[in-house]
Chains A and B, each alone.
Chain A
Amino acid sequence: MKLRSAIYLASATLAFAALTFASTLPSGAADKIDPVADAKAFQKFFTDKFPKVKYEDFVNGPYSMNEDLHRQWQEKEQFPPYEFSLEMGKEMFSKPFKNGKTYEDCFPNKGIGIRQNYPYFDEKEGKVITLELALNRCREANGEPPYSYVKDEMAALTAYMAFTSRGKPMDIKIPDDPRALAAYENGKEYFYTRRGQLNFSCATCHVQSPGERIRAEILAPALGIVNAMPIYRSEWSGMGTTSRRFTTCNSQIRGVPLSPQDDEYRNVEYFLSYVSNGLPISGPGARP
């Protein structure tokens, strides 16, 4: 009897404690999706953590975190390794398809200077549309086979589109649509969820530890990380798209990557781009 009453008492105290704890939280803060507040808090986290880094410099990934690397990169930028790809992209972009149309016909403003608006939420379809996806849809609509999402032609095209948008602030909008908010929230959840044998989330490296080394690499901050896409990685000896970055990140933590342009990857890109709103497009980038 004595034991049982002790348990009653303890659980009653616990319940009471939980109640008082809950009442100290601002009402409903836990379950309300508030991208504006998220983005503000996200950016503040990085600017507080790295007070010496200039705001626009966050888009330069590891170079914003390390002075030596920054100097090497500036020298490299005189002869950027993505130049060949960029030239190829420019050529491909205006070259007509078999039916005479070009990529220009698929995009607003003929595809020039619009990188900062991608990914966007398509209210008709109820899903996030990335630039890579839009490019392949453009090809398919014109009777051309789609490109691989990870490198080569796709990277060349996005490189050219990013190049024409350099310096424009990322401008992702979340329409007043519960599905758009859900997509954003799903992307955020993916970003912060641990996975893989190494039990890493995206945030483990890119929020908790930017500027730290992971083996020989210096980790880039998540803030502005998508602004530099696509990138030439010396490690890959070639170009890679956002899709390539997501899938290789997942396999590096010994997780099973989703297929490129999976709904969840699109949502992550949506989340990451939204919280980087205001930072300039710097792609195509070059990374070690």
Chain B
Amino acid sequence: MASTIRVRATSSGETTEVQALIQHPMDSGFIKDAKGEIIPAHFIQQLTFEYDGKNVFTADWGGGVSKDPYVKFAFKGGKKGDELKVSWVDNKGATDTTTAKIQ
């Protein structure tokens, strides 16, 4: 399957603006399905953006975050052509990683 992460990072010289969209059900564990059975909790617990060996953004998420979450932030620094690494881990231990070139 294709990556669950879409990311775009653009540098304006001083700062880098990052946008990401992640495909994930983000089930809270409080919702029942059509048969009345609880859909088990399944959500991303930690999302990290790494640049130049350092974490530039970390999010500790829970079941309150929407399905297929979208993130946008900016950090100081970041050069065009450098790589930005994005990864997430969910409560079932699943994980995905991708890298994107800063534009």
A78 and B10 alpha carbons, distance in the complex (Å): 13
The answer to the question of A21 belonging to the interface, with a C-beta cut-off of 8 Å to chain B, is no
Main secondary structure of the interface of B (DSSP, over half): strand
Cβ-defined contact, B23 with A84, below 8 A: yes
Cβ-defined contact, A83 with B67, below 8 A: no
Set A78, A79, A87, A237: member contacting B67, Cβ < 8 A: A237
**How many residues from A make CB contacts under 8 Å with B?**
8
A237 and B21 alpha carbons, distance in the complex (Å): 14
The answer to the question of A81 belonging to the interface, with a C-beta cut-off of 8 Å to chain B, is yes
**Size bracket, chain B contacts:** 10 to 19
A84 to chain B: closest residue by CB: B23
Residues of A within 8 A of B34 (CB): none
Residues of B within 8 A of A79 (CB): 6, 8, 19-21, 70
Cβ-defined contact, B19 with A78, below 8 A: yes
Q: A83-B6, A87-B2 are in contact. Are A237 and B66 (CB under 8 A)?
A: yes
Residues of B within 8 A of A83 (CB): 6, 21
> Which 4 pairs of residues, A with B, have the shortest CB-CB distance?
A237-B67, A79-B21, A84-B23, A79-B19
Ordered by A's residue number, 20 sampled pairs between the chains whose C-beta atoms are within 8 Å are: A78-B8, A78-B19, A79-B6, A79-B8, A79-B19, A79-B20, A79-B21, A79-B70, A81-B21, A81-B68, A81-B70, A83-B6, A83-B21, A84-B23, A84-B68, A87-B2, A237-B66, A237-B67, A237-B68, A238-B67
